[in-house]
Amino acid sequence: MNHPHTTFKTLVALLLLACASVAAAQPKTTNGILTDEKGMSLYVWDNELTAPGKILCTGPCTITWPPMLAKDGAKAFDDFTLMTRDDGTLQWAYKGRPLYHSANDKQPGDHRGDGFRGIWHLVKP
């Protein structure tokens, strides 16, 4: 019989693996808006303009604004680069600005995060 803590640890490991497996391949443009490979809108956060080259959306921020993570082996191209998060994962950036999803977007084409608090914006290359 499994110990409850072992079962919980296994569940957490499986969830982390599932999250890693759905990490976006690379950004693309869909209908004039930057999206992930599934067509989900991507955003930038104005607060990160105060610290160029740094990722400031960490911890609780990532619940509402999940980072657009890169798959293993991803390579920078054109205006897209990779930034290393505090946990060592790689996050896509556009013109030096980290890219995020909005937890409020439920399907491709949604852009409910655009203009949130006047500091979150869709990326329109």
User: Which residue ranges make up each domain of the chain?
Assistant: 25-122
The pLDDT of 47-66, averaged and rounded, is 95
Mean pLDDT for the chain overall: 85
Instruction: Copy the structure tokens of residue 24.
Output: 């976006």
Q: How far is it, in rounded angstroms, from Cα 7 to Cα 118?
A: 43
Q: How far is CA 60 from CA 6, 37, 65, 118, in A?
A: 26, 25, 9, 19
Report the phi/psi class of residue 88: left, alpha or beta, with left for phi > 0 and alpha for psi in -120 to 50. Answer: left
- List pLDDT tens digits, range 60-103: 999 999 999 999 899 999 999 999 999 999 999 999 999 999 99
pLDDT at 25: 75
Residue 6 has pLDDT above 50, yes or no: no
The pLDDT of 7-14, averaged and rounded, is 43
